[in-house]
Every structure is written in structure tokens, then in C-alpha cells.
A = this chain, B = another copy of it.
């Protein structure tokens, strides 16, 4: 019988300690770039006309407890998950089969698919694909006495964010726990969770502490290295310029206008050992070009401040174009097609983006046919079991299906969440609102755009205090999500005659590591950190 540490955590701190923690966070975050641009609801545009202000990223005052076994499992599984989604991205036949129903009813999915079809028709000139992934989990803890288990919330194949800032939060919490030394208790009083764990517990960060360490600190967060190593692997695999004459090589970070989360992106780009430029989605067609006479289709970037200078793009990293709302016109889709048909390595390509749909996640839970086994022919039975143990029960809403029966029955729906296929939070329907919502849809055709997932029950007694970006401080019950980052570079296989298999599919780089702990108030069922509902956190293993 294991007693979970949530009921008595975090420890009570005095007003003076809270003041110390808050002022440390406010100063440390600005000094170290753990920052975001302020929202217009906090700082009106007329105050900061030229956009010079920044504020601390939303963070928890305390790191959150997390079971070591679950943390290790999530890290152990990452390279297998990377391989799974690389293999899915490699199988357009399977994706089309899974997506067919959606392509018919969802314009966004349809347009993505059309981009792929169009490039396929012309012929892809780049066989390499890069995935910078993040697999997100919650703890499922139906009982307060059993150790929680890991349940996957979603697998992000595009614009997996917060690797940069998350690593900084780990450093911030470590600083709060260890300055000047643990016994000084400047920030926090004693708590069993802060005490060093027995030797032999595989705390991967033990090497980061002095040998006489007497304190439990968050595990080292390698997110930046893992993501940067992935980008470097792609950049190097691109090899050399395909232009005549040859051009210098660069990477592009494709970003949104008015990005508040820019410092997360800069944490990745600014220390790479080759040129990286930021490109707004609105500037794709004006600042990049493909010479129609070069059948290799290198993507050429011209920096607006130096029109005579040209770079060839090895890798285009999308921190944008993941949500339907970003495609405001036909030109947006032309721009996406333009990138997809270029020789640049896409992170991700359109097929990888489609592989991240909730529908795929749901179909993978099937045992018969056993898709996971097929995509991971070399994985051991125990690895597959571990992977499958992270799947939450989930269903499609086909006519006469089990899923539809649950979704339309208020009492059975009460333990479920209805999710649209698309990336990005904010659109989930919860519990007893599900039947009414489904009935309000214009037709049953639209049911295909959703999947139904059994609710995950995170530790009910988890509490924390958060500092929001506008400076307000809120304490209360919280829900946390752990994301583990992965980087995978693969070569797409060639289709064989029957189109069902591919030869030549090859994984060139596969690494997992680094984490994002995201904590939100329990009242809000939804929350992306960037939207201001939730906060960046780190973990204390127990």
C-alpha cells in the first residue's frame, strides 16, 4: 500500500517565504529569459507601442510530485513512440484509410491531404523527415493509495512547444530548492519530498549535485539538447546545397505573427551552430522561393534586411500552421504547398501532421488489427505492453458503435471527454455535456470529427500555487500533464508495387528526453500554457 504525497504537499510557507519565492521567480525569470511577451489584456497595446516589454512566464511556486516509475516509463517509451509515429507518417495508405471519413467532413484535414496529394503527384524531392515530438501524459490515480499509472493524453507531431522554457523552470526550481544550501530553508521549509532519496533510486540528475547532496531536486531537463540535436541531425543530413551556384545553408523557424512565446523558440534557435532565421507565415511566399528551373527544388530564403543575400533552407521547423485558424486564405494553403514540395526537410511534413490527429491515437488502441505491432515489428513484447498500458480507452463514433452508445448516454458519458481531431486545446467537450453537444451538430456525418476518450483521474489532492504572467498569485487544487520530448529523423520508404508496403524506410536519428510539466487549476478543464490558463512546472520524483 503506497500513500501518495499529495495530501500534505506543498508544505505551508510563511508570508516571508512566499515573498522570497515570488521575488526570486520574478527576478530570476527575467535574468534567464524565462519570459513571454505580455498579453494585451495585461499590458494594453497603447502602453507598449513598440513591443519592448516582457514578463515572467507563468510558473508554479513549487515543483510537483511525480512517481519515478511513471517518469522513467515515459522516458523509456519515447524512442518507441518516435519510431511508431515515424512509421505511421511513412504509410500514406494507412493514413488515408484511417482519415478517409475525416477528409470528407473536415476542411482542414481535407486541405492538408490535398497538399500531400499534390506533391505526391509532382513527386517528392526530399525523402528525409524530421519529427520534434512531445508525448503528453496525465497520471491516472483512481485511488489515493495505489501508485498512479501513466495515461497518454496526446502525441504532438507539430509545434511541440515549451522545451526551451521548461528546461529553465527546472533550473529555477532547483535554484529555489538548493540556494544557499538546503538547510537554509530560504524558500521552502522541510518536507519529506525535498529530502535526498535513497542511493540506488535511479535519479538521473544525481550527477548534477554535489556528492554530499542532501536534497531531492528535479531531474535534469535535456529538452533543449534533444530538440537541438534533432535539428542538427536534419541540417547535417541535408548535406550540401542543391543550388547553382551553391548557397550557404540555414534552418528556418516558421512562426506566427505576434508570437508571445518567442523566448521558448529562441532558447532553441540561439545556440545552434548554424544560421537560423525566423520566418513569419505571412512571409513564406515573399521571402522564400524555388527556382522553377531547378528540378531539385531547393528552398531559397532571402532575408528582408539583406536582399542580395541568399540562403538555402535545409530544414523548416514549423512553430506555426498547426491550427485551422492560421490558414486565412487560399494563399496560406499555397504557402504550405510551396514548403511541402521544396527540398527542405519539413518538421513536420503534412503526413506527420496528420499522424498527430486524435483519430490516429484512437485507432492505435485497436488490438485487432494490431496496428502498433505492425508499425513496430522489432519492438519487444514487454515494450509494446508498456506502450499499450499508456493508452486510455477511446472510441470512434461510428453508427452502432460502442463509442456512440456511451457518448449519447448521459450517465455513461459522464466519465468521458469528446475531442476534436485537430491540434491545439480549447475545443474539448466534457462529461454530461457530450450527448447534447452531439445532438446539436448539423448532421451525424460530423460525429467522425470526434473521438471519445475515457476521462483520466489525476491525483485528486494535488495542490500548488502559481504565479501568472500578469503577476497574480493563485493557490488551489491542480492537474498536471507531463510531456516528454523526442526527436526523430527518418527516410521515407519507396512504395512497392501494391502500395501496401514500403522499402527503404530508415530511421537515421532517434532520441528522447527532456520534459514539460504543465500544471493548471482544477477548475479549468482545458489549458495550454500559452493561453494563460496553465503554468510551467517541474517535477520532484517520489
Contacts and interface: CB of A to CB of B under 8 A. Distances in A.
A12 interface: no
B49 A263 contact: no
B38 A53 contact: yes
B250 A14 contact: no
A465 B157 CA distance: 44
Interface string A24-35: 001110111101
Interface residues of A, number: 58
Contacts of A31: 33, 35, 263, 266-267, 270
A19 interface: yes
Given A30-B263, A263-B31, A471 B303 contact: no
A217 to B, nearest CB: 18
Q: Within the oligomer, what is the number of copies of this chain?
A: 2
Contact of A55 (B52, B180, B262, B307): B52
Nearest to A473: B50
A376 B233 CA distance: 60
B48 A186 contact: no
Contacts of A305: 14, 16-17, 19-21, 185-187
A185 B309 contact: yes
B47 A309 contact: no
A365 interface: no
A437 interface: no
28 contacts: A16-B307, A20-B304, A20-B305, A26-B52, A27-B263, A30-B30, A30-B54, A31-B33, A31-B35, A31-B263, A31-B266, A32-B33, A43-B48, A43-B53, A47-B47, A49-B471, A50-B470, A50-B471, A52-B55, A52-B56, A52-B467, A52-B469, A54-B55, A180-B250, A180-B275, A184-B275, A186-B306, A187-B305
